[in-house]
Structure 1
Amino acid sequence: MIIKKIFNNNAILAKDSKKQEIVIMGRGVGFKKSVGDEVDENLIEKTFILKQKDASEKFKLLLEDIPTEHVSLCYDIIEYANNILSVELNDYIYVTLTDHISYALKLFEEGLNRPNALIWEIKKFYPKEFEIGLKALEFIEDETNKRLPEDEAGNIALHLINAQTNISSNKVEDIAHQTKMIQDILNIIKYTYNIALNEKSLNYERFVTHLRFFFQRLNKNEKMEKEEDDFLLKQVRTKYKKAYECMLKIQKYLEKELSDEEQLYLTIHIQRVTQR
């Protein structure tokens, strides 16, 4: 195998004899190496072969954006999930779950907690995925010495549910309507900021994923419980004034009064997707 790209000392992109791209992880696998060198196969610990091209490209972006340790950790969680679940998981799980857990750890370090308003529904309707989520919290604690709250087990379960390719999709009409609304919301942001959004960025991917879950809740008439303490929202409203004003435009477009929590998440995502 030949090295095609070096992400850092412990992660590289290689090509095998069949010209297939493989992401390789291992301690020191990229250390003092150059593009075109042979891969030291004795240093290989984990390999990623993502067949979906878009997922593969996003995963490579992810490797440049978050710690290698988080990628390795999520690989172990996904491998565990694959062994427990008797369904095929979409390649995107390597992107979405890794991105989510890395960001959850960042928020945890900053003392912020993201409540999961669907926690009881997830426990009831998706017990197997939730149990995997709880096991994932153990993986995370063993690796980082950080014990994330139970809500995160629910969030991890949601990613696993979303990645199951055999889960029945919504009606075609619903998907078409949802797609149009997502595009309308993105247009509101573009016109408010007078910018073109980078559709290949991770922040864009995060935002669209959030909107998909948001519309799933709307379709099922599920509501996020309103938090009594809106301290975080007040802080965000002051710090990201333009993003908050943009969120209000989106709320008006939706013709729906959003909870403080939904307003908070939308405002943060708008701020992130319009930066860099």
Structure 2
Amino acid sequence: MLLVKKVLNNNVIVAEHPEYEEVVLIGKGLGFNKKIGDTVAGDKAEKFFVLREEKDQEQYKQLLNYVDESFIGLMNDIIEIVEDRFSIRLNEHIHISLTDHLFYAIKRIKQGLDIKNPFLNETELAYPKEFAVACEVVDHINDELNILIPPGEVGFITLHIHSALTRRTLREVNRHTQLISELVLVIEESLNIKMDHKDTRYLRLVRHLHHAIERITKEQYMDNQEPLKKVLQAEYPLCYNLSWKLMKIMQQALKKTIPDAEAVYLTLHLQQLSKQ
């Protein structure tokens, strides 16, 4: 038996749990006539998850004012799918952020409004495992609700999954994806080329930029490449100077020091692209 700490509605309560401290329990009529301090049988809950922060509990309570219980149940199934694929318990905030996002996304789809995602390719390249699971999530929603979610939405779901896996805010994850897109645009303009997003050179570049941003954010700096740097500076001055331009953009966006060695790796990628 668990102790009721808060009743969110007739079907959702917050209760004390011996292992997880506080959990959200979901079940038909579970909160009916219940008061703070009452006991409730945990096995009567159809679903349960952890919401430790008071702010998250309040946001989830507000969510229940406009999202019906059947959709809440669908979202819990989706989050279970994601946790099962990665064998990890996600940051509990995904119960709020992804539910809210998908509720309004599906509402727009049913109204015939298009969903555009300018960063879809960059997102798939940056987070391939999350993207694959997001595709599975979309298939599940399409089957359950008999709708057709457009491809662009897969990218947004991917970012929510990555945010919950890494415990980074969605704003930070979005910022990194947009930074890569900005860097690609600068490269295209500087080299006067239009990159084919299916070209292996483009794919390698975007993956490198993604890993570079991750390393820089975590301050995992690379080994010194001073001898090779001097050779590349002399052999490929255009690409070498462009690499420093890109590094300055990254430094300004990330508010982190960019190691000089990054110029070497960027120059090598840029030289391959410049052959176009």
1:101 partnered with 2:102: yes
Runs of 4+ in 1 over 6 A off after TM superposition: none
Paired position in structure 2 for 1:185: none
Residue deviations 1:147-201 (CA, integer Å, cap 9, x gap): 32222222111111222327xx8xxxxxxxxxxxxxxxxxxxxxxxxxxxxxxxx
Paired position in structure 1 for 2:9: 8
- 1:32 and 1:55 mapped to 2: Cα distance? 24
- Contact 1:15–1:22 (8 Å) recurs in 2: yes
Q: 1:93 deviation in Å?
A: 2.0
Distance 1:109 1:34, change over 3 A: farther
Paired position in structure 2 for 1:25: 26
Mapping 1:257-268, distance limit 5 Å: none
- Contact 2:122–2:181 (8 Å) recurs in 1: no
Q: 1:50 deviation in Å?
A: 2.8
- 1:115 and 1:108 mapped to 2: Cα distance? 11
Residue deviations 1:14-59 (CA, integer Å, cap 9, x gap): 2346893221001221234444432244431111113455444433
Distance 1:153 1:214, change over 3 A: closer
Unmatched segments (≥5 aa) in structure 1: 170-207, 226-276
Equivalent position SS for 2:165: coil
Distance 1:92 1:153, change over 3 A: same
Computing the radius of gyration over CA atoms, which structure comes out larger, 1 or 2? 2
The aligned amino acid for 2:98 is L
Figure out how many residues of one structure are paired with residues of the other and give that number.
Answer: 184
The aligned amino acid for 1:37 is D
- 1:86 and 1:16 mapped to 2: Cα distance? 22
| TM-score, normalisation: structure 2 | 0.55
Percentage identity across paired residues of the two chains: 34
Equivalent position SS for 1:69: helix
1:219 partnered with 2:179: yes
Unmatched segments (≥5 aa) in structure 2: 186-276
Paired position in structure 2 for 1:153: 154
Mapping 1:43-82, distance limit 5 Å: 43-82=44-83
- 1:81 and 1:19 mapped to 2: Cα distance? 20
- 2:20 and 2:91 mapped to 1: Cα distance? 23
Distance 1:111 1:62, change over 3 A: same
- 1:221 and 1:214 mapped to 2: Cα distance? 11
